[in-house]
Copies of this chain bind each other. A is one copy, B any other.
Amino acid sequence: MATSKSPIVDIHTHVYPPSYISLLKSRTSIPYIRSFPPSSSLRLVILPAEDTESTSRGRPVGAEYYDINEKVKFMDTHSIDISVISLANPWLDWVPQSEAAQAARDLNDEVDAECAKFPGRLFAFGTLPLSGGLEVIVQEIERLKGLKYMRGVILGTTGLGKGLDDPELLPIFKALQDAKLPIFLHPHYGLPGSVWGERTSDYGHVLPLALGFPLETTIAVTRMILSGVFEKVPDLEMILAHSGGTLPFLAGRIESCIEHDAHLKAEGKLGKGRKTVWDVLKKNIYLDAVVYSEVGLKAAVHASGEDRVMFGTDHPFFPPLEGEGEKWASVETNYVAIKGALGDATEEAKGALGGNAVRVLNLAL
């Protein structure tokens, strides 16, 4: 394990607490957990595209999904000092309105209590009761401030059902800004199945996971930028999953398309006062380092800043297919990318591996 002077922090690591697993087992449409005979092992199905008869229907659910001791074991194996755990998708997006407030309270308390079992090693992003209505959501944000291990909230891309550029979300963004709780923006819904073509199922989960997820994130944050969220809530902080989806690479094109758009110009939306994509990347946005290549990591660092990139693993997803390796290739690839892009033991590498997360998320007790 690294010394306390330069800790390694995983800010992208998911849990399904036991109560959430029970909820998913009680359901018969996505998201749900069940076995598909003849096998008796449980599988988690969360996406429409994977809810079909095939060997790629969902994914096996093991103890690493719900047992916090497995999380800490994984951390030890991979030299991770601190993890900022978050409920995995699809969070509470699907909960009926009347149950949302209680579901979020129970879940966030449960996650906070899991963190308390390993003081100093576990922190968390909370989950918002998005289906509960504005008042319920803002109340939960207030409550999260008082929970000892909560350091932000995880959020999908649909918001209240109309995307993150929905003006009705502004009071929620303001409440998060005022509570100094960053948003960890994470994809779930992907892109419509028709995007992928008729041979998609030949390719397993690759197209929706490798391309759909990053684009979903990119679209969500671009819509926020275009609608002026970052002018209206200037200190809102966002940590973008998967190094921003594709935002670092496409930022230049987005900016060029904005500056050349006759409609935006006619509407008076160009010119002074507008925050550019680059402004937002360097002021409001942090990027995780879950991009699996030196090429991608360098672009993330270059776009947002070496002090704004944070190591992550996406555990428990992407386990070794053989299930035998002690160390996971998906984790090692991201370590190698950081070392390749930022050096072996430089201050920049230490920042990306943990220092930035400790500073931004205040990871001390």
Residues A252 and B222 in contact, CB atoms below 8 Å apart: no
Cα distance A254–B318 when bound, in Å? 12
- Please name the residue on chain B nearest to A164 by beta carbon: B197
Cα distance A259–B206 when bound, in Å? 9
Copy count, this protein chain: 2
Residues B210 and A253 in contact, CB atoms below 8 Å apart: yes
Residues A263 and B318 in contact, CB atoms below 8 Å apart: no
CB contact between A205 and one of B209, B215, B257, B302 (< 8 Å): that residue? B257
Q: Output the least CB separation between A26 and chain B (Å).
A: 26
Cα distance A115–B184 when bound, in Å? 53
Residues B299 and A197 in contact, CB atoms below 8 Å apart: no
Residues A198 and B162 in contact, CB atoms below 8 Å apart: yes
Residues A199 and B211 in contact, CB atoms below 8 Å apart: no
Q: Which one of A27-35, A73-81, A289-297 contacts B? A: A289-297
Cα distance A55–B267 when bound, in Å? 10
A214 — which chain B residues lie within 8 A by C-beta?
Answer: 246, 250, 253
CB contact between A211 and one of B196, B219, B292 (< 8 Å): that residue? B219
A250 — which chain B residues lie within 8 A by C-beta?
Answer: 210-211, 214, 246, 296
- Can you report 30 A-B residue pairs in the complex whose CB atoms are below 8 A from each other? A55-B262, A56-B262, A163-B197, A191-B191, A191-B195, A197-B223, A199-B223, A202-B227, A203-B261, A204-B262, A205-B261, A206-B226, A210-B250, A210-B256, A210-B257, A214-B246, A246-B249, A248-B296, A248-B299, A251-B295, A252-B292, A253-B291, A255-B293, A256-B330, A259-B321, A260-B321, A260-B330, A261-B321, A294-B302, A298-B298
Q: Measuring CB to CB, which residues of chain A are less than 8 angstroms from any residue of chain B? A: 54-56, 162-163, 165, 191-192, 194-199, 202-207, 209-211, 214-215, 218-219, 222-223, 226-227, 242-243, 246, 248-267, 291-296, 298-299, 302-303, 318-321, 329-330, 333, 337
